[in-house]
Amino acid sequence: MAASKVGRNAGRFAVERLNPKKAANGRVPVIYDRRVSSGLVGHLAGAINGRGVARGTSFLKDSMGQQIFAKGIRILANPHRKRGLGSRPFDGEGLPTKRRAIIDDGVLTTWLLDLASARQLKLAPTGNGSQGSPSNFYLEKGKLSPDALIADIKSGLYITDLIGFGVNGVTGDYSRGAAGFLIEKGEITRPVSEITIAGNLKDMLMGIEAVGADAYNYGAKTTGSVLVNRMKVAGS
């Protein structure tokens, strides 16, 4: 991207965020901007790490083969993607890697297993050693633009920044500071900050109603904008 375009975008983002207000308390739909939605995929990756599952310290420890997303949601792990930051033909333990559908039509199909966790769980390793690390997670994009997602919301939030790490991997409880924009009658109306969004990751993952068509690569994760149907918001 040209330096001039980077500068214009930075200036526009800064001006749009001037004079933010707090949001009212309530339960509303929340859209995660594509630059922060990768965090949800990251929480999933941590929860299906075989070592955590074997220790019983994951909120998804009993969810293999179950519907944990809405139907139609698909998340791939592709360690063979060309020029991907997580690409590798072999894992850290020398086992071959392969492309997998981690979530298929909303169903959790596998853990991320290294040799040790595979032995504990009496399963075959998945080529995710060591530490069960994921590689090139891809949340399949939807058909709607962010503007189209926003247009269907009467009252909600569009989140562009997250603060802190208030996530409990054992229970799935989620609470983070956030900033972004208020959505009213299908339009972004004003910036908001100093708010907290909260929920439980099990409910949040199942509550993903739509994924935007604006796929964005962030490290070894690729996601678009994500609409979660209902979250607690505290701002006043």
Residue 211 maps to a domain: yes
Note whether residue 9 is domain-resident.
Answer: no
Kindly state whether residue 169 falls inside one of the protein's structural domains. Answer: yes
Q: Tell me whether residue 221 is in a domain.
A: yes
Q: What is the pLDDT along the chain (236 residues), one digit of tens a residue?
A: 677 777 777 776 676 666 677 888 999 999 999 999 999 999 999 999 999 999 999 999 999 999 999 999 999 999 999 888 888 899 989 999 999 999 999 999 999 999 999 999 999 999 988 655 678 999 999 999 999 999 999 999 999 999 988 899 999 999 999 999 999 999 999 999 999 999 999 999 999 999 999 999 888 899 999 999 999 999 86
Residue 45 placed within a domain: no
Residue 107 lies in a domain: no
Assess contact for 208 and 106: CB atoms under 8 A.
Answer: no
The structural domain count of the chain equals 1
The tokens 């004079």 sit on which residue? Answer: 19
pTM of this structure: 0.90
Residue 210 lies in a domain: yes
Where in the sequence is the domain holding 228, given as residue range(s)? 19-34+142-234
Residue 90 lies in a domain: no
